[in-house]
Chain A
């Protein structure tokens, strides 16, 4: 087939894939009476910011936004650090139970997260007795669970990157008298940076999108709720405020999308690396 034809097909497919997102943004900008109309149109002649205003002001959306960002960033930072060390151990060293550990990393991903909410709930309650900040009703509890759930995949993925760094480099560094520690942070860490970036995106998404734990753990502290819960405010017993839901969803999707696009190149090589390793 001609390249032109293929490119047209590509663009059409991209259009179909992006359509739900287009509809989301469009609905967010439509005036209220057009959002819920028996005669929906794929355009609007009267764009309005009303829905955004409702989403941002009626409930303390800003607060939730900050909470979500804080949780996600802490999770990303911690999971990068921990998974980098673990991935190095798993690729650079041969030791007994290495394979077992690798298989366990895959197996723990199979346990349904939803089923774990109950044991985790009680665990967090006990944690809260010792360290209130990490207990139920606090953002710390969310950081802990997301960290735990994003680690297996992060380690799995970083493994490929670490493996791709030639062993000779390490030998050369050791000959130069660099300590193991210096090698780790000054040589290896920068070299796997693309992988770290790719990993961080996935950890970020994991923490950012969570609905279940935010719903279960943040029991009554409205000030500690995160974005996905804020959206629920507009789901009402009578008529959902679709405009505000779409505006909220738009605001929620944008940071991830920006993050994604920024690291797109690293992500591609990252996923390939993860799989090759």
Chain B
């Protein structure tokens, strides 16, 4: 047992070194920075460091805009998570019902969406929905309509883009999961006279549950931190910042203005919120008798 541990740590050393040096240490620095008044002058050594303790956090929580943005972020992430889960699950099920060629066509399209770099993807969508030259307005006969001006159409457009590039992960994973269910199980259910819908609900779904949980957590983590899409598509957070989400807010309000301490505090708060959401979700599952 002791020997096992030693070998295990031997194998883990490279990973621990990289993660420790390049992830854990910066995270530690991030927390540290969030406790200081740390602006451009402090960075360049022109002004002494002042320890603020929780000062940055107090400033942040006292900002009305922070709460608005936090609410927007949660709502936006929720729409994206639910959207990509629904679309991904539905299409995964669809994939099991069609012949290989049709599935390949859908997979190819989905992999295309998945592999498009966020910057390029956002730009393409922006171009498709351009007020004057966009194909969507041409088809809808609404030339001149600006999708990115109104707060809600802008959010909707970005959410659609995010779902577009994140549902393939859900779809591919769940499809693989369904495929991994032994056919005998499904056949047995069919022999018992269960309808297709019954089989789906009482046999397939429970078997897929662990998989769904992981997919959901990953989606929450990704969608809560959306940055590129909002930054590119709403030009840095929309008119008067009304399309801000936390990540972009941190970037705009804090890093652009060199309030690194405050920006770091937002980062820490975001991590805490994400952790809280995940823990809450896992505990809710546990109460239902599920284990990860």
Contact = CB atoms under 8 A, between A and B. Distances in A.
Asked if chains A and B are in direct contact (CB within 8 A), the reply is yes
A209 interface: yes
Contact of B114 (A120, A231, A260, A276): A260
Interface of B is mostly: helix
Interface string A33-56: 001111110100000000000000
A236 interface: no
Given A15-B109, A21-B112, A249-B123, A108 B99 contact: no
Interface in B212-262: 214-215, 217, 221, 225, 227-228, 246-247, 250-251, 255, 260
A151 B108 contact: no
B22 A123 contact: yes
A246 B214 CA distance: 35
A115 interface: yes
Nearest to B112: A21
Most buried by A among B210, B214, B264: B214
Contacts of A228: 117, 119-120
B5 A96 contact: yes
Contacts of A173: none
B264 A115 contact: yes
Contacts of A35: 133
A114 interface: yes
Nearest to A35: B133
Given A38-B132, A85-B15, A180 B7 contact: yes
Interface of B: 1, 4-5, 7-12, 14-16, 18-19, 21-27, 29-30, 33, 43, 91, 94-95, 97-99, 102-103, 105-121, 123-125, 127-128, 132-135, 138, 143, 164, 169, 172-173, 175-177, 179-180, 210-211, 214-215, 217, 221, 225, 227-228, 246-247, 250-251, 255, 260, 263-264, 266-268, 270-271, 274-275, 278
List 4 tightest A-B contacts by C-beta distance, closest first.
A115-B267, A272-B176, A148-B22, A119-B29
Interface of A: 3, 6-7, 9-11, 13-15, 17-18, 20-21, 23-24, 27, 35-40, 42, 81-83, 85-86, 88-90, 92-96, 98, 101, 106-120, 122-123, 144-145, 147-149, 151-152, 155, 180, 205, 208-209, 211-212, 228, 231, 242, 245-246, 248-249, 252-253, 256-257, 259-261, 264, 267-269, 271-272, 274-276
